Amino acid sequence: MEKEDALNALAALGQETRLDVFRLLVKAGKEGMTAGAISDDLSVRPNTLSTHLGVLSRSGLVQAERDGRSICYRASLEAMQGLVTYLLQDCCGGNPELCAPIVSLVAGGGCEPGGAC
């Protein structure tokens, strides 16, 4: 991931409504959610939401797919992975020995399949 991509992703997530949208989509998983469903869920007006969804889409953090009259949005786990990797690469670059605790925390306590994370 290039610096500009990371910058766009971070800026996109650094706004409350968009962070809410992204987390909601992550929770929704691969089925995703329509713009209308997100709008209802978060009580954000459709046109305002559409602007935010555009920012998230352009940053690559979410992907849009039309399904009939609705448009389905999904969180891009690949983009998320890229962002986290970018941040951790920065971390490791100068201080490999300081990075270990982060990795072990993520790898050890994070995500057992089916676990409560």
Partner DNA sequence: TCCATATTTCGAGAATACTCGAAATAACGA
Partner DNA sequence: TCGTTATTTCGAGTATTCTCGAAATATGGA
Residues of the shown chain interacting with its own copies in the complex, contacts defined by CB under 8 A: 3, 6-7, 10-16, 19, 22-23, 26-30, 77, 80-81, 83-85, 87-103, 105-107, 110-115, 117
Is residue 6 at the binding interface for DNA, with CB under 7 A as the rule?
A: no
Which residue number, 42 or 111, has a Cβ lying nearer to its own copies? 111
Q: Contacts with DNA in 12-71 (CB under 7 A)?
A: 15-17, 34-37, 39, 44-55, 64, 66, 68-71
Query: Which residues have C-beta within 8 Å of that of residue 12, sequence separation ≥ 6?
Result: 18, 22, 55, 56, 59, 61
